[in-house]
Amino acid sequence: MTCSRPSRRPPQAPVHNRAMQTLTIRRPDDAHLHLREGAMLAAVLPASAAHFARAVVMPNLRPPVATVERALAYRREILAALPAGMSFDPRMALYLTEALVPSEVQRARDCPQVAGVKLYPARATTNSEAGVSDLGRADAVLAAMERCGLPLLVHGEVARPEVDAFDRERIFLEEVLVPLRARHPGLRIVLEHVTTREGIEFVRGDPGPTAASITAHHLLWNRNAMFVAPGGGAGLRPHHYCLPVLKREEHRRALLAAATSGNPRFFLGTDSAPHLRRDKESACGCAGCYTAPTALALYARAFEEAGALDRLGGFAAAHAAAFYGWDPNPGSLTLVRRAGNAPVAQDCDARVGDDVVAALGAGDSPWEVQSA
Ligand code: NCD
Ligand code: ZN
**How many Cβ atoms sit within 10 Å of the Cβ of residue 68?**
20
Instruction: Concatenate the DSSP letters of all residues of 151-168 into one string.
Output: PEEE------TTS-GGGH
Length of the chain: 372
CA 250 to CA 2: how far, in whole Å?
31
**Which of 38-47, 123-132, 231-240 shows the lowest per-residue confidence on average (mean pLDDT)?**
123-132
**Considering every ligand atom, which ligand is closest to the CA of 40?**
1
Average pLDDT on 315-321 reads 98
Residue 43: closest CA among 320, 238, 237, 293: 293
**Considering every ligand atom, which ligand is closest to the CA of 289?**
1
Q: Whose CA is nearest to atom 5 of ligand 1?
A: 288
CA 196 to CA 173: how far, in whole Å?
10
pLDDT digits (tens, 9 = 90+) for 335-349: 999 876 655 555 799
Instruction: Quote the ligand 1 centre to 127 CA distance (angstroms).
Output: 8
Record the pTM.
0.95
pLDDT digits (tens, 9 = 90+) for 299-317: 999 999 999 999 999 999 9
Mutating to test ligand 1, I would choose from 57, 154, 271, 286 the residue with most ligand atoms within 8 A of its C-beta, which is 271
pLDDT band at 3 (very low <50, low <70, confident <90, very high): very low
Mutating to test ligand 1, I would choose from 217, 240, 243, 276 the residue with most ligand atoms within 8 A of its C-beta, which is 243
CA 33 to CA 288: how far, in whole Å?
11
Instruction: Quote the ligand 1 centre to 286 CA distance (angstroms).
Output: 9
Return mean pLDDT, the chain: 93
Instruction: Quote the ligand 2 centre to 347 CA distance (angstroms).
Output: 23
| Pocket lining for ligand 1, CB < 6 angstroms | 34, 60, 125-126, 155, 242-243, 271, 273, 287-288
Closest atom of ligand 1 to CA, residue 242:
7
Closest atom of ligand 1 to CA, residue 288:
7
Domain ranges across the chain: 28-330
Q: Could you say which of 271, 310, 347, 355 is catalytic?
A: 271
Is-catalytic flag, 271? yes
Instruction: Quote the ligand 1 centre to 85 CA distance (angstroms).
Output: 29
Instruction: Quote the ligand 2 centre to 275 CA distance (angstroms).
Output: 12
pLDDT digits (tens, 9 = 90+) for 258-283: 999 999 999 999 999 999 999 999 99
Contact 214, 269 (CB under 8 A): yes
Q: How far apart are the first and last CA of the chain?
A: 15
Q: Which CATH class is domain 28-330?
A: alpha beta
